[in-house]
Structure 1
């Protein structure tokens, strides 16, 4: 391998080229380097090993290699000693008899045995292998940094369809954190190992690793398929793919909501509680009446009495939701001739003109006040709030669900519905949903709005999964779930 960025060797084919080089010529480069060190013996006895190789100093290895000034850019990387998938290309097959297979690998079906050798210091780019790997050091020193597969998002793997799909996109030297922001914390998930001659390191399949090698370092590695990969039948690949993508998408949604449930969210909830405690301390009927009048100036006395049954926390949440709807829309009541202007919202025909600044495309709790309120309420309180809205302000509830519910809001809402389902009996559930959906002129439109929003949130999570784990940008919104 001839690298254009030596001593760093990147796996991307655009960063290096394969060049024909007799093994004896490379050994000659190594001997020349050792001689240039004024006779100092190479690390871990490499000088003696090369002398025993039997190569005469007078041998003209330079004639075998046209890149006279690029000796330090050459790295013997993954040169096969044995390869069951391509036996005819065992370039160093003559060394096979000199390699003793470790006892615990004797019952394994080896995929390949490879030689790794460098005469100058070298750094390999971060990558993973599709096999279990036993790295054995013959001479020199290697420093290995390991990352588990779970750290993949911080390493930005190259696109799955590319020729270097098992390599990280993050440069070893001067990484661009403006392009790869998650890489700022990649070392938090790493483990470091130093290998000397005689040491061996097991690297499980799928584990990312980056290796720094001292000058004159020689290593041999063994690759073999894991039991899991050996047991996976190809006709099940599509099923496994869908199951894994679904599981990663579900986890991405959970992490997005957990990430947005920050101290700021808790602070919001505490502020609401403080307001309610203050309101509850007044405990006056006049204040409660004022609250109800703020919720809907056209409300009837019967509706006010229903609202008075709510806990202070529920009243505050209801007030916040109604205010958000009213702030986002212009409501004009079309009153039939002879109809009182105090007719309740539930009996009025409402014309709604929506502002352009609504957050119906939001994927982040922090950016969405409606979703934030829904998230801070427990399922019992939210059920009470929705029942009050459905009975007293059905058009406001309709506007909230049909026009103000963002993707993250829909996801939060359905999760709250799931909590309600687990907490209540079947009869109580049916009664609740009958009242809730009964507030809509078109119940199916409400269900579609919630479902479409929920699926939009999942789609953004899926996009993030492709970006983090597959290295593919599907496009679309980039807010909230990143």
Structure 2
């Protein structure tokens, strides 16, 4: 788990300024201890202190929507898994009282009489409400509006507003809604994310919340983006079927768990998946508001944002591909500070070492001798020359030596499974390039340019694969960072002097790098479409290529 996304716990409430800059801006959950203890609701609503009587008298028989489900105590978000039934709030409170009495009598032993189900006729209930035969054990008041800025007509429990307080660090926020969450028995809400920032405040009872960052979406299999409940996971994490959802096994690697006691509050940023378990008779209030990021995302900028995000995802995917191909883990060949078992003499030894290296590099640039190479670098030179010669020899009967990467036609209808692995899974040249320290590789190339120019040309124009081109350009970047401007210019002059057509050599490297980037984009687009749609269809590969062509 990355330290930057670990949930923090605050014993004191932050100021509005600190919340904005240190918490909300990080987009990482945070727990605020004792956030609701100053509320009137904290003392008045507690079921163990006649809080249910207080609520029943305060709200009365105002109609609310209760959630019921055959899957209870687990409540899923899609419409097909639950139903919302209107009933008087006072009736729900009676169900809660019944639950309290039942739990109390269970603690006294089996000789106590069972509690009686409330007489529904006393509420004046008609066919639109519950019948006495269908009263379930678990009833959940989920997201019952106390305030709603978009639709005041939906507000059902405005009378509760005076008993709660907007947390001081949210006072300058433009809230979208305030909602009540209350369950008569243990309940679990299925894994989902919200499109708004959220502060979940526990008035009484206890909740356990498991959270996953948005980056864990692939392991949680979100429902299709084109369907309802698209913000919910397809996986029943209490009993996951890994044969259908194999990536779900990795979800535990991203999960963080927090326990919220009465008085605590939890900041759940937009996009964070969360699963909430509530104890019996838990009451909570939540505040939703639109994030600054979403508020500032102007519609005419969508294409730009998409390209920026896609570029970052592609870079990450390329790193992952290199790791999957066994590249990017270790580096084995590099300069070590000479010591020879003697005492360290500080700056004098350092200065002498760098003078020797500079002199050695100068002689290499002048092409004086191969003997200036370190033994490990000389071995790299030998291995690269051998691999290039073997590659050229193996391909002489199949293609002309003048063929370059520009002549290779990229087949867009290749099967997805063969996207890059078949041609790159065994790439010894790319692995050698990655393992060599930049300065050592620079010396190897200088030696090749002076002593084996045709081999260097064949290396770049023919033997260098797309992944090799990607690794080579990364090495060039590292060389540039470690070299003075004069040395950098001199190196590239010597390097490209080995080619009859320097522009073709540069173009070959760039085309190879672009080919690798395109492969990463294919993988990324495929995986992203699976996350967005929630399903895998055969036509998606065709659509993937279409998206790639549109994105350029």
Offset, 1:414: 0.2
- Relative to structure 2, which stretch is displaced further, 158-167 or 373-382? 158-167
Other-structure match for 1:420: 479
Q: Aligned partners of 1:33 and 1:87: how far apart in 2?
A: 32
Aligned ranges for residues 451-462 of structure 1 at < 5 Å? 451-462=510-521
Other-structure match for 1:327: 390
Q: Which of 468, 487, 495 lines up with 1:409 in the alignment?
A: 468
Contact 1:257-1:365 within 8 A present in 2 as well: no
Q: Aligned partners of 1:133 and 1:183: how far apart in 2?
A: 25
Q: Aligned partners of 1:430 and 1:325: how far apart in 2?
A: 26
Offset, 1:382: 1.6
Q: Which of 427, 450, 471 lines up with 2:531 in the alignment?
A: 471
Other-structure match for 1:240: 305
Q: Aligned partners of 1:418 and 1:314: how far apart in 2?
A: 19
Q: Aligned pair 1:397/2:456, yes or no? A: yes
Q: Aligned partners of 2:396 and 2:422: how far apart in 1?
A: 32
Q: Deviations over 1:387-443 (max 9, x none)?
A: 333444444434433443333322210011112223344454444334434444554
**Are the structure 2 counterparts of residues 161 and 442 from structure 1 closer, same or farther at C-alpha, using a change threshold of 3 Å?**
farther
- Relative to structure 2, which stretch is displaced further, 99-108 or 380-389? 99-108
Contact 2:198-2:289 within 8 A present in 1 as well: yes
Offset, 1:82: 1.6
Other-structure match for 2:170: 105
Q: Aligned pair 1:211/2:273, yes or no? A: no
Contact 1:156-1:468 within 8 A present in 2 as well: no
Contact 2:420-2:519 within 8 A present in 1 as well: no
Offset, 1:222: 1.2
Q: Aligned partners of 1:390 and 1:323: how far apart in 2?
A: 15
Q: Which of 183, 188, 192 lines up with 1:127 in the alignment?
A: 192
Other-structure match for 1:250: 315
Offset, 1:305: 8.2
Contact 1:134-1:203 within 8 A present in 2 as well: yes
Q: Aligned partners of 2:395 and 2:301: how far apart in 1?
A: 58
| Unmatched tracts of structure 1, length 5 or more | 42-53, 274-303, 335-348, 478-482
Q: Aligned partners of 2:287 and 2:492: how far apart in 1?
A: 61
- TM-score normalised according to structure 2 size: 0.61
Q: Deviations over 1:123-143 (max 9, x none)?
A: 122233232322122333211
Other-structure match for 2:54: none
Q: Which of 280, 285, 291 lines up with 1:220 in the alignment?
A: 285
| Unmatched tracts of structure 2, length 5 or more | 1-66, 108-117, 337-366, 406-417, 546-552
Moved over 6 A (4+): 54-57, 258-264, 351-354, 363-366
3-state SS of 1:22 partner? strand
Q: Which of 63, 77, 91 lines up with 1:11 in the alignment?
A: 77
Q: Aligned pair 1:79/2:144, yes or no? A: yes
Q: Deviations over 1:229-259 (max 9, x none)?
A: 4444444343333333333433444566578
- Relative to structure 2, which stretch is displaced further, 409-418 or 54-63? 54-63
Other-structure match for 2:63: none
Other-structure match for 1:117: 182
Aligned ranges for residues 367-406 of structure 1 at < 5 Å? 367-406=426-465
3-state SS of 1:124 partner? strand
Contact 2:404-2:461 within 8 A present in 1 as well: no
Q: Aligned partners of 1:163 and 1:30: how far apart in 2?
A: 31
- Computed over aligned residues only, the root mean square deviation of the Cα atoms, in angstroms, reads 4.5
3-state SS of 1:330 partner? helix
Q: Aligned partners of 1:402 and 1:360: how far apart in 2?
A: 22
Contact 2:76-2:82 within 8 A present in 1 as well: no
Q: Aligned partners of 2:154 and 2:70: how far apart in 1?
A: 25
Q: Aligned pair 1:200/2:262, yes or no? A: no
- Relative to structure 2, which stretch is displaced further, 206-215 or 249-258? 249-258
Q: Deviations over 1:270-310 (max 9, x none)?
A: 9xx9xxxxxxxxxxxxxxxxxxxxxxxxxxxxxx9854453
Q: Aligned partners of 1:456 and 1:154: how far apart in 2?
A: 28
* Alignment: residue pair count: 415
3-state SS of 2:310 partner? helix
Q: Deviations over 1:87-120 (max 9, x none)?
A: 2222334444444434443333211011222233
Aligned ranges for residues 272-283 of structure 1 at < 5 Å? none
Q: Which of 141, 151, 156 lines up with 2:206 in the alignment?
A: 141
Q: Aligned partners of 1:117 and 1:439: how far apart in 2?
A: 76
Offset, 1:211: 0.7
Other-structure match for 1:310: 373
- Relative to structure 2, which stretch is displaced further, 18-27 or 403-412? 18-27
